[in-house]
Amino acid sequence: MTSSIISSINMKELQDNAPPTGAFLSGSYIRSFAYKTIKDRLPIIVTGVIDRMSRNKESIIQKYGPNSSDELKQVIGDLSQLRSELMTNKPLNLLNLTNSEKDRDAAIWNKYIKNIEDTSGAPPTWYNAVWLFSECYMYRRISQIFTVTHTLSAYDPFENQKHESFATFHRVIDLVAKYIINIANETNNSSDKCQENLINLLKLNLWGNRCDLSLSGGSIDAHEGINPIEQLKMFDKYILIDDSVTVWNLLNKQSVETKNQDVIIDIVLDNAGYELFTDMCLAVFLMTKNLAQKIRFYVKSIPWFISDTMKKDFIWLIDNMKNSSAIYVRELGEKCWNYIENGQWTIEVESFWTEPYDFSEMKHNSPELYAKLSEAKLIIFKGDLNYRKLLGDINWMYETNLATALRGFKPTNIVTLRTIKADLIVGLSCEKATELFKKQENWMTTGQYGLINSVIN
């Protein structure tokens, strides 16, 4: 951080240490990834939106009409103001209350901010608020900057990046699609073979979570030509917690015991693009092997964390697959679309996922969603943000079990698939954590390691 920025921040809020055990993660701890995120990564993300809009000004005006010209300037100005507030640690402003459907949760955000102020005696700032809240608030502010306009209210500032992240993996996608179609059509449906394929797909799905554009600030890292199925065993040493067999046992038992009942599996999605493709691959396998009869995909209602999946991203991906020149990708796309058309797959849009709460607050603040999730036999939570919301962004002791860290959130059986990109984790022995720190001090924030961790009755 430059000296000019340091001088503009209330230094009383900053502590030159890591977050204590049991504390909320916060940018106020200089030796934390939260601090690095708020100081460096978040301003870069906002700057990227400003730069792309400035660079693509003519094409935006052409698409959204001449009246968008003035509003484009307004948006760029508001984004610049947001970046300034972020870099100088200003208090988090209340959202504007508008009539837009996309802003119907603004009052919820404002109440949350006021509750923090009432509790602490001072308004929350970027650095002293819980990291989870600060980071989510930034994306909520970006969303409102667009929704208050007339011409650009539907504009997704991250859409092109999401599309590009899929295009860069086209060769890998061809290979995986062939694998999925082959096992979907396989006549050997023995228990051992199904278990092997499910575990492979859970791991493929886990490593698909590496494609997180919010971690890289929006840059795309392609891995062309690598067959991820053949690489899976090489990555097993990086899976720190692996409950994939436990997940298989649950689903296999359920398919045997409930032959006349529909098994519902819920997938709370993370990134669009290649990761979403791997989510669909897993879902196709679950359907074709009768491990599930209905799958509900939960998406974000607004642009979120650069690459998070919205309904339009889900539809775009299937359309892209259906129109592919690669035969297996096209066949897989048709299969996915058929599941959507016959109602076996549904795309669920719930505002809770972009509200300020962590998941322990769902039962109280969104009881309908909690009850809906309770209908499922299994919820698959994808990615780092969902993991942080499960744990409440608390710096738990590493050996804490996941059930304890959920703090009462247990609508049904849960598994979380996460490549580790934030400095919190549970279910890990202190000895293993110490070993990892000796090897690589920043192992918790690189995305190199992953986990498949479950709470299953």
What would the pLDDT profile of 301-331 be if each residue is shown by its tens digit?
999 999 999 999 999 999 999 999 999 999 9
Burial class (CB in 10 A: 0-12, 13-18, 19+), 391: buried
Question: Residue 7: its pLDDT value, please?
Answer: 45
Residues 120 and 203 in one domain: no
Q: In this structure, is residue 416 part of a structural domain?
A: yes
CA pair distance 109, 133, nearest whole angstrom: 10
CATH number of the structural domain spanning residue 114: 1.20.930.60
pLDDT: which is higher, 1 or 211: 211
Work out the pLDDT band at 225, boundaries 50, 70, 90: low
Please give the single-letter amino acid code of residue 2.
Answer: T
Work out the pLDDT band at 11, boundaries 50, 70, 90: low
For the cut 90, the answer to whether the pLDDT of residue 89 exceeds it is yes
- Torsions phi, psi for 356 (to 5 deg): -80, 0
For the cut 80, the answer to whether the pLDDT of residue 332 exceeds it is yes
Residues 179 and 126 in one domain: no
Choice among 7-21, 89-103, 159-173, 285-299 with the minimum mean pLDDT: 7-21
CATH number of the structural domain spanning residue 325: 3.40.50.10880
Residues 323 and 190 in one domain: yes
Q: In this structure, is residue 71 part of a structural domain?
A: yes
Backbone φ/ψ region at 95: left (φ over 0), alpha (ψ -120 to 50), beta: beta
Q: In this structure, is residue 159 part of a structural domain?
A: no
Residues 120 and 228 in one domain: no
Q: In this structure, is residue 162 part of a structural domain?
A: no
Choice among 2-6, 124-128, 240-244, 335-339 with the minimum mean pLDDT: 2-6
Range of the domain at 379: 168-455
What would the pLDDT profile of 148-200 be if each residue is shown by its tens digit?
999 999 999 999 999 988 888 888 999 999 999 999 998 888 999 999 999 99
Q: In this structure, is residue 140 part of a structural domain?
A: yes
Q: In this structure, is residue 156 part of a structural domain?
A: no
What would the pLDDT profile of 350-400 be if each residue is shown by its tens digit?
999 999 999 999 999 999 999 999 999 999 999 999 999 999 999 999 999
Work out the pLDDT band at 222, boundaries 50, 70, 90: very low
What would the pLDDT profile of 64-88 be if each residue is shown by its tens digit?
999 999 999 999 999 999 999 999 9
**Span 23-33, average pLDDT:** 98
CA pair distance 366, 352, nearest whole angstrom: 7
Residues 188 and 246 in one domain: yes
Residues 262 and 118 in one domain: no
Q: Residue 142: which residues within 8 A CB-CB, separation 6 or more?
A: 46, 49, 79, 82, 157, 303
Residues 311 and 186 in one domain: yes
For the cut 90, the answer to whether the pLDDT of residue 25 exceeds it is yes
Q: In this structure, is residue 154 part of a structural domain?
A: no
Closest CA to 256 of 287, 291, 210, 223: 291
DSSP state of 244: H
For the cut 60, the answer to whether the pLDDT of residue 215 exceeds it is no
pTM: 0.95
CA pair distance 147, 209, nearest whole angstrom: 29
DSSP letters of 364-422? HH-HHHHHHHHTSSEEEEEHHHHHHHHHTTB---TT--HHHHTTT--SSEEEEEEE--S
Q: In this structure, is residue 402 part of a structural domain?
A: yes
413-419 and 450-455 beta bridge pairing: antiparallel
Question: Residue 223: its pLDDT value, please?
Answer: 54
Question: Residue 47: its pLDDT value, please?
Answer: 98
Number of separate domains in the chain: 2
Q: What percent of the chain is helix, strand and coil (3-state, nearest 5)?
A: 55, 10, 35
Residues 178 and 88 in one domain: no
